[in-house]
Each structure stands twice: as structure tokens, then as C-alpha cells.
A and B are shown apart, each in its own frame.
Chain A
């Protein structure tokens, strides 16, 4: 008999965090190294945001039970910024409560293509079909 977490509770926990405020995405500087332990709130990472960018309010934020893979997935619409000149290779997802020191950071995710450097152009992410990340039950 295998130990397992239960999907509904994982989803409920994630939904509760998302409900704390407005889910947002921010592109990070290439020199930023995420620390799972200390980078807890937006105030901890705001100094490492990629120059020239602003946070993107995520649309169509959904948490889905994928029972086949025993996991809960977080998905959103594709985020983008226009008329941007910057360099980035990763992005962080956080929930904006209105106060940086209480806005929890959920994940920092590498851009698969590596470093992107738009010049007065559009910076966008085509989100993986499965979503940004998943919490597995087993």
C-alpha cells in the first residue's frame, strides 16, 4: 500500500493561496537565483526583477485536478508585455495582496528557450499545455 497525498486538499490549498490577492507574473533578471527558503514574498524578489519590465496580471488562472497523473496543475493565459527592452531567462509567479511583504511567491520557472532579449518589442510566454507547475500527490 503506497502513501499518498489527496488531490482535493492539494487543490484547496493552492486555491486558498491564490485567493489571497491577484496572481501575477514578473520576469526576473538573468542573475537572479531563486531560494526556496528565503524568497518567500514579493518584497524578497522585487530587487531582482528584470530591468524595463513590469508585473503582468495573470488571466484565466485555473487549478485543475489531473487524476491520471495524480497531480494538481496551475495554468493561466499566456502572459505578455509590449514595447519592452529587457533581458530575462526566468519568471516568478506570486499573489499580489497589495503589500509586497505579504505577497507570497509561488514558483520561479525557467524559460525553456533560455535568455530572451526583446528590443522595443513584445515579451511573451506561451504557457506549457499542462500549465506552469503541478503539485503531485505521489
Chain B
């Protein structure tokens, strides 16, 4: 479960740099989340954004005259060894800045989902800001930031943080009013655990005193990576043997009479008769030898 381990704050002021002390116990791999507000003294012009330092990621930058920014990074060895985290404020003559730096347990991630709203009517309620934030992960921390500037009244605090549906239990992390500027400004941040993901379609907060105009609201979340480990049952493959018929050799066998059917081929016969010669009778003569 992602948890806010520690945090440090900078109160609203005109300052060259917003310097946040390193949150207690910062360790390698921790998630650092900065919520910083800038607002103009004299309510005109453009509040210049705080630059995103190297290694940090800007999640959101809301507003123009008044601005809410969320930056984050995963703590490396340089962050762990640092004493402070310094964010230069571009315009120090007319800009009030302040905010909070959170250290969240290692492994937590910012998925990038958020939605924001700007309200320009004078109201005792910041919002409701209507939109959609579809959270699919479990074990989340919701963050709500509210920036309000006022036309009348400037005391009290922000309270009654609410999201659509079942409202989780909110813990206010930062609630500062600056009355040295004109107009007065109120910055507030609250967090709440959201065990099961769901879609959020509106959020709001109320001002305990006074009417505030130009409210900026931002809703975002941090989730805990969900790991899964499985096992396997051994897949055992057995052979199939095929029966073979044996041939016995050398024993007394019985043979079936093998009869071969002859095939007779037609033969052309030819017969000749020899000439029978008859010897003529030969007379018999008695020869008497003459005297020599």
C-alpha cells in the first residue's frame, strides 16, 4: 500500500526560490511529489511556471494568472544525498509561491491520470469540478489541491474535501492563507486513501470563511504497483507404446499349403513329317577272286 512517509512545506511568500528541505528518511527509489502554487500579486498577468528540474516529470500545470503545478521524480542517490530541493521562482516581484513536497513509499508510481477545473465565480465552495478520473489500480492515494483567490474575506481554511461517490477519509496536508498579497490567496492540499479503483466524476472543497473567486482544483493519484506470483503444477507426459505382433522363428510352425495356380500360355503347334526314304533292294553278288 502506497503511503505518505514524510513531507516538507514552504509557506506562501514572494521568494526567489521555493526551498523544500529534504523529507525525512528519503531513500533510493522513493517517489517524490511536489505540489506548488504560484499566484500573482495584483491578480493580473501570468504566473510563470516553475521549471521542471532535470530528472523530474511535470504531471500537470493548471492555470495562468494563478497556477498549480505537480512535479514528481523517483529519488536517486543525488536526491538522497541532498539537503534541500530548490525550485527557482521565475518572477519574484509579483508572484507568491508555496507548496508541499511529499515522500511516498518506494515502489509507488504516478500513473499520469488526473483532471482539473477552474472556477471564476465568487463562491464559498471551490467546485464542484466536473470531469472524469478513471482509476483502475488498487491501493491508491488521492490528492486534491485547491487554490483560491478572494475578493472579500480572507480568513478560515479549506475543508470538506469531497469526491463523487463514496467519499474517502481526507487528511489535510497543507492549508495556507497569504494576506500580504492582493488579492489574498489560499492554497490547500489534502490526501485520502482509495483502496479500490473507480471512476471519479467530480470533486470540490469548501472555504470555511469568506468568498473566494478563481478557484483552481486538481485531482490526481499515486498507486502502488501490484505484483503477482504464480506457481505451476508439474506437467507430466507419459509415452504411448504400440503393441507389436511377434514372429516366432525356429519353432514348429504349421504352414498352409501354398498353391500356385499355373497359367498356361497358348502355344502354336507345328508338325512336319519327314520323307521316308526306302532303300532299294540291293541284289546280292558273290565275287570270286581272280588268280593272279
Contacts and interface: CB of A to CB of B under 8 A. Distances in A.
Given A119-B226, A121-B225, A109 B138 contact: no
Contacts of B138: 119
B228 A121 contact: yes
Chain B interface secondary structure, helix, strand, loop or mixed?
A: strand
A89 to B, nearest CB: 8
B235 interface: yes
B225 A119 contact: yes
Contacts of B239: 5, 135-138
Contact of B228 (A4, A107, A118): A118
A121 B136 CA distance: 14
B109 interface: yes
A103 B230 CA distance: 25
A138 B232 CA distance: 23
B287 to A, nearest CB: 104
Contacts of B230: 111-113, 116, 124-126
Q: Name the residue among B136, B137, B232, B241 with the largest chain A CB count within 10 angstroms.
A: B232
Contacts of A127: 231-232
A136 B241 contact: no
Interface in B221-247: 223, 225-239, 241
Contact of A128 (B137, B223, B229, B232): B232
B111 interface: yes
A116 B230 CA distance: 7
Contacts of A137: 239
Interface string B206-230: 0000000000000000010111111
A128 B231 CA distance: 6
Contacts of B228: 116-118, 121-124
Given A5-B239, A136-B237, A138-B238, A122 B232 contact: no
A111 B231 contact: yes
Interface in B37-83: none
A133 B233 CA distance: 8
A83 B225 CA distance: 8
Interface residues of B, number: 22
A15 interface: no
Interface string A82-101: 01000000010000000000
A119 B140 CA distance: 12
Given A131-B234, A134-B234, A124 B225 contact: no
Given A118-B226, A119-B138, A119-B223, A125 B231 contact: yes
A130 B234 contact: yes
A35 to B, nearest CB: 16
Contact of B236 (A3, A5, A71, A83): A71
A133 B237 contact: yes
B237 A111 contact: no
Contacts of A5: 239
A5 B242 CA distance: 12
Nearest to A86: B228
Given A120-B111, A134-B237, 12 more contacts: A83-B225, A91-B232, A109-B235, A110-B232, A116-B228, A119-B223, A120-B226, A124-B230, A125-B229, A125-B230, A128-B232, A136-B238
Interface of A: 3-5, 71, 73, 83, 91, 107, 109-113, 116-128, 130-138
5 contacts: A5-B239, A111-B230, A125-B231, A126-B230, A134-B236
Interface of B: 109, 111, 136-138, 223, 225-239, 241
